[in-house]
Structure 1
Amino acid sequence: MGNTVETVDTDTVNKDTVDTDTVEEIGKMDNLEAEVVNLEVHMDKMDILEVHLDKMDILEVHMDKMVNLAAKTDNLVAETVNLEVHMDKMVNLADNLVAETVNLELHMDKMGTMELPMDTMDNLEVHMGKMDKAEMAKTEAEMAKTEAEMAKTEHFMTMQNVPMLEGLSERLGNMETQVSSWISAFEQQQQVHPSINKEYPQRMEELPELANAPISTHLNSNGDAMPVASPHGFWHLENANRHQQTMISNNNNNNTNNVRNMAIKKS
C-alpha cells in the first residue's frame, strides 16, 4: 500500500468551521448572566442590610427610651428623697405641736392653781381692811395717852428749874413730831400694802416709860453735880421710827412669803 492522499472538500470544511463571533457572544451572555446573579446576591445583601439598619433604628429608639426612663427614675428617686425630708419635717412639727400642747396644759394647770391664792389674797385684804380701822382707833388712843404723858414730863422738868434741861421741851416737841411722822408713814404703808403689825401697840405702850426716863447725876465742867435725863431713853426714841419702819417692812415681807409658800404648797 502506498501513501494515499485524501482530498478534503473545502466547502464542507468551511461549513463545519465554528463561528468565532457566536462564541464571543455566548461568552458575553454567560458573563452577563453571572453578573446578574452577583447583582441579585448583592441586592439580597442590601435588603438584609436595610433590615439590619431598620433594627438599628429601632434599637436607637429603644436606647432613647431607656435613657428617658433612667432620667425619670433619677427624678423619682429625688422626689422620694424630698418626700422623706418633708415627712421628717412633718414628724418634727407634730412633735413640736405635742410639746406645745403639753406646755399649754401645764400653764392652764398653773393658772387654775393660782385662782385659789388670788381669792385668798382678796379675802385677806378685806379682813386686813377691817383690822386697820380697829388698829388706827387704838393707835389714836395711845397717841393721846402719850401726849398726856409728855405734857406731864414737860411740867415736871419745868418745876425742876434745871438750866441744863431748858431745851428739853424743844426736844420733846421734836420727839412728838417724829412720832407723828412715824404714824403718817405707818398709814401710808397701810395704804400701799395693808398689813397687820401686832407690835405697833406694844411700841406705843413703851413711850410713856421712855418719856418718864430716870434722872441721873453727872458733873459739869465746873465739877458741880448736875442732874441729866438718862440718854438711853432719848436714843431709844430717836431710833423708834427707824425700828418701826424696819418692823413694817419685815412684816410685809413675811406676809408675802407666807402667801407665796402657801400657793406653792397648793400647786
Structure 2
Amino acid sequence: MRKPKRQPPSGRTLARSILCMRETRRRTFDDNAERYAARRPTYPAALYDRMAAYGGLARGARILEVGPGTGQATRALAERGWSVTAVELGAHLAAVARRHTADQPHVDIVTGSFDDWTLPSEPFDAFFCATAFHWLDPATRVERAAASVRVGGTLAIVWTHHVAGGTPGYFTRTQACYKRFEPDAPADFQPPEEQRLPPSTDELGASPLVTDGRATVSPSKSRIRQRSSSTCSGRIRTS
C-alpha cells in the first residue's frame, strides 16, 4: 500500500515550531558559560566610538544593554563612564558577567528575559544589543527597545557577520561540524565579500518609532578569521 503523502505543516504549526526552536536555541548559550566567556571575541573600540558620537553619549549616560552574555561589551560600555543596566536571560551567563564587571560600580546585571522584563519608569539614553537582537521576540522587539529610551535617544544594534578573508579554507574544513548541529547548513558555504553584506537597517527603518536609521561597519580580526561588526543605529522620534 502506498503511504499517504505527508502534508506540509500549516502556517500556525510552522510559526509555533519556529518560536519553539528560537526559544530552545537562545537558551543553549547558558549551558557552558565559562567556555563561552573564554572563546567569545570582543568588539572593536571603533564600534563604541561611533555609538558615542552618534548618540552624543557623554560620561554618566544611562545605557540599557540586552543580551550581554558574559559581559564582553558590558565592560567596554562601563569603561566609557556610562551607567549600564544589562538584562541577560541565562543565569550562568549573568553570573560570569557580574564577575567580569565586579570592579565597575555603575553596572547592574539583571537576570531575566527582556521580552517580558518590566521597563523602569525613567527611560534610558540608549538601547544597546550586540549580536543578540535576533533572539528577541520579533513581534515586539523594536517597539520594546524604542519604549526603553527617551525621546531622541539612541538604539544601537550590532550584528557580527562572517566575511571573506582571514584563515584560508577555514569554512570549507568546518562545514561538517556545522552540519552536525544544523543539518540544513549548506555544505559549500563561503562567506561573502564585506561590500556584499545585506543591509541590516530594514527592521528599524520600517518602524514609525524610529528615525535616522543608518548602518556602519567596523572591521575586526579574530584569531582564525576576519569578522565585520555592523552597527545599526536609530533615534526615537520626537512626534
Between structure 1 and structure 2, the one with the greater Rg is 1
- TM-score between both structures, scaled by the size of structure 1: 0.19
Q: Which structure has greater strand proportion?
A: 2
Query: Which structure has more RCO (C-alpha within 8 Å, separation ≥ 6)?
Result: 1
- TM-score between both structures, scaled by the size of structure 2: 0.21
Q: Which structure has greater helix proportion?
A: 1
